[in-house]
């Protein structure tokens, strides 16, 4: 594998053995031009209004950071409209950077899209925006902040399905129905929870809430982010693929890409 193949998997923090890309020691603060193939990352190009594979040139700029760490800069261009964005990668070697085939990991990735592109989501409008905000918070090492967005999505989509299905969100005393009860009613009728954890769908909400309310450390929040994100995406996809839900949405004249997302996300727990 060439280093460009690993970088092209961003923002995933992948580790892989790659071809040698530095033939000699790169001192701290020193730059070197490297040729490791073109980095190619998919974005939603706002000019083209479509998903495009933004690509780098043949040469990337590499900066020495430490004995096992380098920083790599790239400029990525839309192949159609030629809109350009910047990307930065922090690469860490497991052993030595200068071996014949070093094992390296993408430690951190940041892009500067300057309003020209957006991350590719799961294709469900407003929820993609919240998923992107969660990912960006995670990349800034803000674990609790990332979980806030995931919980907001979970609450919003559950309430939206309840509204479509005619399930009351009001409790016995006229207040908001406890989320545990609402989720149970919604899932019994439309099975929005992925089968892998359908026996206890509320557990995910508890995990998210514990972190949001400060009952877990930032380190724990960052560790739990990716599995929680996968489960939340599973819920979104279940709803988006539910034929009965689609028929109800069409009958109401609603747009699945414009589901209501509360600004505060504050639902009773």
Mean pLDDT, residues 207-217 taken together: 81
* Chain segment 237-261, per-residue pLDDT in tens: 888 776 665 665 555 554 444 444 4
CA distance 180 to 169: 11
pLDDT of 191 reads 82
| pLDDT grade for 266, boundaries at 50, 70 and 90 | very low
Determine which of 95-104, 219-228, 244-253 has the lowest per-residue pLDDT on average: 244-253
- Check whether 22 has a pLDDT greater than 80: yes
Kindly state the average pLDDT of the residues 132-151: 89
Render pLDDT for 113-134 as a digit per residue (tens, 0 to 9): 888 998 876 555 668 788 888 9
How many residues does this entry show for the chain?
269
Is the pLDDT at 105 greater than 60, yes or no? yes
Confidence at residue 45, expressed as pLDDT on a 0 to 100 scale: 93
Q: Is the pLDDT of residue 201 over 80?
A: no
Confidence tier at 5 by pLDDT (50, 70, 90) = very high
pTM: 0.64
What's the pLDDT band for 229 if we cut at 50, 70, 90? confident
Q: Identify the pLDDT of residue 263.
A: 37
* Averaged confidence pLDDT in the chain: 83
Q: Are 124 and 235 in contact (CB under 8 A)?
A: no
Instruction: Mean pLDDT check: name the lowest of 29-33, 85-89, 183-187, 256-260.
Output: 256-260
Q: What is the pLDDT of residue 36?
A: 94
Residue 11, preceding peptide bond in cis (omega within 30° of 0) = yes
- Per-residue pLDDT at 258: 45
pLDDT of amino acid 228: 86
**What is the model's pLDDT at position 256?**
45
pLDDT digits (tens, 9 = 90+) for 49-63: 999 999 999 999 999
Please say if the pLDDT value at position 205 is more than 90: no
CA separation for the pair 259, 111 (Å, rounded): 28
In this predicted structure, what is the pLDDT of residue 7?
A: 96
Residue 98 tokens, joined: 């200068």
Contact by Cβ (8 Å): 189, 239: no
Can you tell me the distance from the alpha carbon of 202 to that of 181, in angstroms, rounded to the nearest whole number? Answer: 9
Give residue limits of the domains in the chain. Answer: 3-119, 126-258
pLDDT at 214: 74
CA nearest neighbour of 178 among 149, 150, 224, 209: 209
């Amino acid at each position: 594998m060439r280093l460009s193949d690993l970088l092209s998997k961003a923002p995933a923090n992948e580790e892989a053995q790659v071809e040698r890309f530095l033939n000699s020691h790169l001192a701290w603060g020193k730059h070197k031009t490297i040729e490791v193939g073109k980095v190619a990352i998919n974005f939603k190009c706002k000019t083209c209004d479509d998903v495009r594979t933004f690509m780098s040139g043949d040469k990337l700029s590499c900066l020495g950071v430490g004995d096992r760490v380098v920083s790599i800069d790239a400029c990525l261009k839309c192949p159609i409209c030629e809109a350009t964005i910047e990307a930065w990668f922090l690469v860490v070697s497991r052993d030595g950077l200068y071996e014949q085939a070093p094992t390296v990991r993408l430690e951190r990735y940041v892009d500067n899209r300057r309003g020209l592109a957006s991350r590719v989501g799961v294709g469900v409008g407003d929820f993609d925006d919240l998923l992107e905000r969660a990912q960006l918070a995670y990349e800034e090492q803000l674990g609790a902040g990332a979980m806030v967005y995931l919980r907001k999505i979970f609450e919003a989509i559950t309430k939206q399905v309840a509204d479509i299905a005619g399930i009351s969100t009001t409790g016995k005393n006229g207040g908001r129905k406890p989320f545990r009860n609402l989720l149970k009613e919604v899932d019994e009728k439309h099975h929005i929870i992925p089968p892998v954890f359908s026996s206890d769908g509320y557990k995910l909400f508890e995990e998210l809430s514990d972190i949001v309310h400060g009952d877990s450390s930032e380190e724990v929040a960052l560790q739990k982010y990716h599995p929680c994100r996968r489960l939340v995406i599973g819920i979104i996809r279940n709803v988006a693929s539910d034929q009965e839900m689609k028929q109800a949405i069409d009958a109401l004249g609603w747009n699945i890409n414009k589901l209501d997302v509360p600004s505060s996300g504050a639902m009773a727990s």
